[in-house]
A and B are shown apart, each in its own frame.
Chain A
Amino acid sequence: MIVLNGEPHEQGAGEPVAALVADLGLPEHGHGVAVAIDGEVIPRAAWESRVIADGAHVEVLTAMQGG
């Protein structure tokens, strides 16, 4: 169980960031997507290697109209 964008999320714990991004139906190359775990920015280059810990607070963000 992780906290994804403020909500409890069943999948993701113990998986690499890339797997979560793919599960969410987002482009695997990550264009327009950014991920932070517990306030730390996870660069795209680390999406394969970085495993999400159980209970982690994950933010998955993308472009939105604004400004």
Chain B
Amino acid sequence: MIELASTSAQTDAQTDATASARAAAASAQAETHVAGSRADPTPLRVAGRELRSRLLLGTGGFPSLESLAGSIRASGSELVTVALRRIDPSAPGSLLAVLEAEGVELLPNTAGCFTARDAVITARLAREAFQTDWVKLEVVGDEDTLMPDAPELLKAAEQLVDEGFVVLPYTTDDPVLARRLVDVGCAAVMPLGAPIGSGMGIRNPYNIALIREAVSVPVVLDAGIGTASDATLAMELGCDAVMVASAVSRAQDPLAMAAAMRCAVEAGLLARGAGRIPRRTYATPSTPTAGTPDFS
């Protein structure tokens, strides 16, 4: 059932016993979450790899490598994206050295590719450069919106899966395309909330919830996140993780925003597990009406 669209009231006919058993279980679960390091007790599994952090961080747009390193630490992220570009002798410092020092895993992307052919070649090059089979597959079809090109994306995904890659495609918020991508063997899907770098949040939350229902692999909300509440909403909608880049790297204080995103993802995951109350048009008193005095 789609959380957002649901307006049906929970039945009031639960027995006290069921309710209290539920409360005990929920409270035990909450203690597990809150105790210690706030670590998620159920790590995210993608293609056999366990990730304790539900936050993926893009490395693009940071004002400096120091800012990037600090933001990685503040975000708690274990998986960060990198791009592959022509060598630039004037580039300051070594990005790879910084990422290795932070102990994060690399997720190479195919950003800038407009055809399946280019994306496949870029993925192969990334595998050589970084010795990883993982790839965040991006095939865009439009320079202004950077929206994914669905037919090219699907074609590239199929070929890369055949070549043994672990493919995480950046896709639209179309549940049918998401299913097709999983059908060809993608290890996760990364639907956009809004165009890359737009900071407009999740424009169609219903579709994100539909994607969560449509596929059995992890769903990682990618692109469009502007601030912490967007990341929380993604997790509340059922996403398994959130990817942020510009929202952190271009914030006035990237480290503070990285920390905020970490909390936001944890909050959303907890809230999703806790089970939100149904939306109602009219008020439901939270204070009992029984025992109200009569001053007439």
Residues of A within 8 A of B (CB): 5-6, 24-26, 30-36, 39, 41-44, 59-67
Contact = CB atoms under 8 A, between A and B. Distances in A.
A19 B42 CA distance: 48
B124 A61 contact: no
A67 B121 contact: no
A63 B128 contact: no
Nearest to B124: A41
Contact of A64 (B85, B128, B245): B85
Interface of B: 58-62, 68, 81-89, 91, 94-96, 99, 106-107, 109, 111, 121, 124-126, 128-130, 136, 138, 245
Contacts of A61: 84-87, 125, 129
A34 B84 contact: yes
30 contacts: A5-B87, A24-B87, A26-B87, A32-B94, A32-B129, A33-B87, A34-B84, A34-B128, A34-B129, A35-B128, A41-B121, A41-B125, A43-B128, A59-B86, A61-B86, A61-B125, A62-B84, A62-B129, A63-B95, A63-B96, A64-B91, A65-B83, A66-B60, A66-B82, A66-B111, A67-B83, A67-B107, A67-B111, A67-B136, A67-B138
Nearest to B58: A67
Given A34-B129, A64-B95, A66-B82, 13 more contacts: A31-B96, A32-B129, A39-B121, A61-B86, A63-B82, A63-B95, A63-B129, A64-B84, A65-B68, A65-B82, A67-B59, A67-B82, A67-B83
A60 B94 CA distance: 16
Contact of B59 (A6, A44, A66): A66
Given A63-B84, A65-B59, A67-B245, A34 B126 contact: yes
A26 to B, nearest CB: 7
A67 B129 CA distance: 17
A43 B59 CA distance: 26
Contacts of A42: 128
